[in-house]
Amino acid sequence: MNAHPSSSASDYLIRAARRGDEQAIVGLIAELAAFENLSAQMQATDERLREHLFGSQPAAECWVVEAEGGLVAYAIFFRNFSTFLAKPGLYLEDVYVRPAFRGRGIGGALLRALGRLAVERGYGRFEWTVLDWNEGAIRFYRSLGATVLPEWRVCRMEGDTLRAFGDPTDAPAAASGA
């Protein structure tokens, strides 16, 4: 059974997202997209989050932070796998704290809660990416003890490129057995 966070400080609560949080989470995702100058790529909707966080086959998990009567931060994560360790890991897709709530320890507490979850589940790694221009985030992650791996680059296919790549009518013919 998955662990559910209930960590709290005097002015905020970390908890697993639940049905009904989708609209607030989409709002936070939109804020992150704007910060990263990626709003044009934003396609998240309440319905998509509901399906992929709370549907019959969840693709990810989400924890949120409540403060001052609303959601002020979120982290979306999922299990990945390390072949070198031969163990699963926790991959953090997004973490975001509203600017007005930064500097209160919320981001660090949320990341530590996810680190504890990774340890409780017996995972071998806790990983995420950071944009190379986001020096503030890089400094923050390093202050938590994270290693920024400069030699690794993210590779991605999406949209039309992914559809073309995955098109079975365009696949090379299978070699005949000899």
Contacts of 127 (CB under 8 A, 6+ apart): 80, 89, 90, 91, 92
- Say what the alpha-carbon torsion angle 145, 73, 38, 99 is, to the nearest 10 degrees: -90
Q: How many CA atoms lie within 13 A of 128 on its CB side?
A: 19
Q: At the top level of CATH, which class does the domain 8-128 belong to?
A: alpha beta
Residue 171: predicted pLDDT: 64
* Active site annotation includes 141: yes
Please write the tens of the pLDDT for every residue from 81-113: 999 999 999 999 999 999 999 999 999 999 999
**H or E element that contains 110:** helix 106-120
pLDDT at residue 63 greater than cutoff 90: yes
Q: Which of 103, 2, 6, 118 is nearest to 64 (CA)?
A: 6
pTM recorded for the entire structure: 0.87
Q: What's the average model confidence in pLDDT over 6-11?
A: 64
Q: Which of 66, 122, 114, 108 is nearest to 93 (CA)?
A: 114
Domain-wise residue ranges, the chain: 8-128
Q: In the structure, what pLDDT confidence band is assigned to residue 172 with cuts at 50, 70 and 90?
A: low
| Exposure letters 135-159 (e unless 16+ CB within 10 A, then b) | eeeeebbeeeebeeeeeeeeeeeee
Residue 4: predicted pLDDT: 46
**Residue position matching structure tokens 């680190």:** 115
